[in-house]
Amino acid sequence: MHIVALIMAGGKGTRFGGDTEKPMAKFMGKPLIKRVIEATKESKKITGIYVAVTAYSPKTAQEAAKASVKVIETNGQGYHADVQQAIQEANLTGPVLIISADLPLLNGEFLDEIIEEYKESGKPALTVMIPEEAFREYGLSAVSLYEHEGKMYAVSGINIIDGQRILEEQEQEVITSKRPEAVFTANSLKDLESAKNYLLRTKRGSKQNKD
């Protein structure tokens, strides 16, 4: 299966202070956009990488260009409108993996697992949802919860859609995940600190287990 990644990176970053663009917020020394691009490059199943930016994220566009990925500037009319515009302008007619640029713990292995689940589902679309309790387990606060089959979930910022049917409503496979790669989202400096503490804690634990 040929699948391309579309990283949505047009955020203003108002919660990060100053004029910091959200995708350029630093996580352990690297801008978020760089970490997400690296995760897509680690994937064994992704065949192309696009980054959608807006007029609000010129530094992000420069960082993406340095990473040798294709950059598309959208109008900044909202997430869904920008997704549609980017897919149409890039003429993406196959499966498109859409990823938010604010997932600091993302990696290629996790993305490949999502792509494999999409392939096995046989449906044109897939969305990854986070159960409300997953946030409590990691000591995080959930935002923008939605009800699905009697339980509360948050969107993860990871979806796959059929680019050829971008203007249509697509039947989708809904999968849930408590994996930190999907749960940790950087909406503020506090969120970045929580992700850093988790990563350092688990690395220390892994090292201790080896000793």
Under 8 Å between Cβ of 138 and 183 = yes
Q: Tally the domains of the chain.
A: 1
- Widest CA span of the chain, in angstroms? 54
At 119, the amino acid letter reads: K
CATH number at residue 80: 3.90.550.10
**pLDDT tens, 15-28?**
666 678 899 999 99
Report residue 146 as tokens.
């939605």
What is the spatial distance between Cα 27 and Cα 22, in angstroms, rounded to a whole number?
11
Q: SS3 string of 107-170?
A: CHHHHHHHHHHHHHHCCCEEEEEEEHHHHHHCCCCCCCEEEECCEEEEEEEEEEEEHHHCCCCC
Under 8 Å between Cβ of 34 and 66 = no
Closest CA to 9 of 72, 66, 85, 67: 72
- How buried is residue 176: exposed, middle or buried, by Cβ count under 10 Å (0-12/13-18/19+)? middle
What is the spatial distance between Cα 132 and Cα 136, in angstroms, rounded to a whole number?
7
pTM value surpassing 0.75: yes
Digitized pLDDT (tens) for each residue of the chain, 211 residues in all = 789 999 999 877 666 666 788 999 999 999 999 999 999 999 999 999 999 999 999 999 999 999 999 999 999 999 999 999 999 999 999 999 999 999 999 999 999 999 999 999 999 999 999 999 999 888 887 778 888 778 889 999 999 999 999 999 999 999 999 999 999 998 888 888 999 999 888 875 443 334 3
Q: Which domain holds residue 168?
A: 3-210
Q: Dihedral sign, CA of 174, 71, 103, 108?
A: positive
Report residue 20 as tokens.
């910091």
Find all residues with CB under 8 Å of 113, minimum gap 6, and list them: none
- How buried is residue 44: exposed, middle or buried, by Cβ count under 10 Å (0-12/13-18/19+)? exposed
